[in-house]
Amino acid sequence: MLFLIILILSFACGFFLPWWVAAIVAFLAAFFIGKTSGHSFLAGFAAVFVVWIILALVKSLPNDNILAGRVVQLFPLPHNWIWLLIVTALVGGLVGGMGALSGILLKKAFGKTS
């Protein structure tokens, strides 16, 4: 349930709002409906990981990955845009996971665990 909520809200916000909104979405979702720390982190990580891959593909595939191919040349990665996609998704997953973990830990600090 937490995974789906973070996934849907992050995807909807990803088109119109800055990248860091995914952390706020994961934080609030975990704060209100999260159960355990481990589950919240994994749900936040996985949801934002998937969303960032989808959003990157939606924005990159129509132009034949030209910009992604040029950006990947700036980093010490194999010269393939797929590697840039994976690194981007990992960063997004960590943002979502840490946001969700922060939300559930704040919930526990306030003693609102059920």
Q: What is the mean pLDDT of the chain?
A: 92
Taking the C-alpha atoms of residue 51 and residue 54, their distance in angstroms, rounded to an integer, is: 5
Label residues 37-68 b or e (16+ Cβ within 10 Å = b): eeebbbbbbbbbbbbbbebbeeebeeeebeeb
Taking the C-alpha atoms of residue 75 and residue 78, their distance in angstroms, rounded to an integer, is: 9
pLDDT tens for each residue of 91-111 = 999 999 999 999 999 999 988
| Residue at token pair 């982190």 | 41
Three-state secondary-structure class, residue 73: coil
pLDDT of residue 67: 86
pTM: 0.89
pLDDT-derived band at 114 (thresholds 50, 70, 90) equals low
